[in-house]
A = this chain, B = another copy of it.
Amino acid sequence: MRTNSSESDSSFIGTARRVQITQATIEVLAAEGYTGTTMAVIAGRLGVSKGILSYHFASKAELLQAVVRFVLSEAGEWMEQRMHGAASFRGALHSYISANLSYLDSHRTEIRALTEVLANARATEGVPELFAASQAQAVHALEALFDGGRRAGEFGDVPSRILAVSLRATIDSTSESLRSDPAFDLSEFERELLQLFDRAAGQYDQITLEGASHE
């Protein structure tokens, strides 16, 4: 089978094995950190030999790429399923924030693994590109949402880019709080975040009305 970087894998067993290995790697990354994630440890968790990893993945770099792809696409699906059918742009913004935070909350292992890989990405070929693309796309999607809202008269005059960048940064930083602060109250945080971006993005008069209703 000898995989080389990007092949369309026709073997069912092969694909299943690759997924198995990828998931085991995610677990190891989350549990042991990047440094602790050696081929031997991954193989040990699966109860197989090291050789098998090399058989299914041409290199460790490729395995880590698979991890990044797996988590990114899983997160993408999660968001997609929870974003359709909002009546307004403001509603869509609320859905976005809510969906994203719930993903972070319910997929801590994956997020942790992704963070570990990304942090050590520069050395691992292919990974930084993968992540940069995902990041850019996420920001652009949000920019489009804010732009749409402004054109529809729902949102005010704070530039969409800074709104998008700031929202993404804030959400991304949440996973660290979730991990390290046991007392972190996610639903309270979500309420505050909605309030902040309602205010930041919203029209002045809407602010008055909505802001009041939140207290």
Contacts and interface: CB of A to CB of B under 8 A. Distances in A.
Interface of A: 2, 33-36, 40, 116, 118-120, 122-123, 132, 156-159, 161-163, 165-166, 168-170, 172-173, 177, 180, 189, 192-193, 195-196, 199-200, 204, 207-208, 211, 215
Contacts of A196: 158, 162-163, 166, 200
Contacts of A208: 204
A170 B166 contact: yes
Contacts of A157: 211, 215
A211 B156 contact: yes
A158 B195 contact: yes
Contacts of A34: 119-120, 122-123
A120 B35 contact: yes
A72 B61 CA distance: 32
Contacts of A158: 192, 195-196, 199
Question: Number of copies of this chain in the oligomer?
Answer: 4
Contacts of A165: 170, 173, 177
A49 to B, nearest CB: 10
A104 B46 CA distance: 43
A86 B165 CA distance: 27
A187 to B, nearest CB: 13
A140 to B, nearest CB: 13
A34 to B, nearest CB: 6
A133 to B, nearest CB: 11
A161 B123 contact: no
A111 to B, nearest CB: 14
